[in-house]
Amino acid sequence: MSEHGKTPVTVLGLGAMGTALTEALLAAGHPVTVWNRTAGRAEAVAAKGASVASTVSEALAANQIVIACLLDYDSVHEVLDPVASELKGRQLINLTNGTPGQAREMSAWAEELGAEYLDGGIMAVPPMIGTPAAFIFYSGSGTVYGRARTALDTFGGANYLGADPGLAPLHDIALLSGMYGFFIGVIQAYALVGSAGVKAREFAPLLRAWIDAMGGFLERSAEQIDDGDYVTDVVSNIGMQAAAYPNLAQAAKDQGISAELLTPLQSLMDRRVADGRGAEDLIGVIELLKK
4 has pLDDT over 70: no
> Quick one: which of 83, 75, 68, 16 has its CA closest to 45?
16
State the Cα–Cα distance between residues 231 and 287, nearest whole angstrom: 14
State the Cα–Cα distance between residues 53 and 267, nearest whole angstrom: 54
Structural element, H or E, at residue 116: strand 116-123
Structural element, H or E, at residue 119: strand 116-123
1 has pLDDT over 60: no
For helices 167-194 and 100-112, give the axis angle rounded to 10 degrees: 150
Is 59:66 a contact under the CB 8 Å cutoff? Answer: yes
77: exposed, middle or buried (Cβ count in 10 Å: 0-12, 13-18, 19+): middle
Residue 159 confidence (pLDDT): 98
DSSP letter (8 states) at residue 32:
E
> Quick one: which of 133, 153, 125 has its CA closest to 24?
153
**pLDDT one-digit tens code per residue, 182-191:** 999 999 999 9
State the Cα–Cα distance between residues 272 and 277, nearest whole angstrom: 6
Is 86:57 a contact under the CB 8 Å cutoff? Answer: yes
Assign 26 to helix, strand or coil.
helix
3 has pLDDT over 60: no
**pLDDT one-digit tens code per residue, 129-160:** 999 999 999 999 999 999 999 999 999 999 99
Is 110:117 a contact under the CB 8 Å cutoff? Answer: yes
Domains annotated for the chain, with CATH where assigned, are 9-163 (3.40.50.720), 195-289 (1.10.1040.10)
**pLDDT one-digit tens code per residue, 58-91:** 999 999 999 999 999 999 999 999 999 999 999 9
22 has pLDDT over 90: yes
Structural element, H or E, at residue 117: strand 116-123
State the Cα–Cα distance between residues 112 and 104, nearest whole angstrom: 12
State the Cα–Cα distance between residues 33 and 21, nearest whole angstrom: 12
User: From the CA atom positions of the chain, what is the Rg in Å?
Assistant: 24
**pLDDT one-digit tens code per residue, 180-216:** 999 999 999 999 999 999 999 999 999 999 999 999 9
Residue 85 confidence (pLDDT): 97
Residue 218 confidence (pLDDT): 96
Is 165:109 a contact under the CB 8 Å cutoff? Answer: no
247 has pLDDT over 70: yes
Residue 291 confidence (pLDDT): 80
**pLDDT one-digit tens code per residue, 101-117:** 999 999 999 999 999 99
**pLDDT one-digit tens code per residue, 40-53:** 999 999 999 999 99
Residue 5 confidence (pLDDT): 74
92: exposed, middle or buried (Cβ count in 10 Å: 0-12, 13-18, 19+): buried
State the Cα–Cα distance between residues 169 and 182, nearest whole angstrom: 20
Amino acid at 141: S
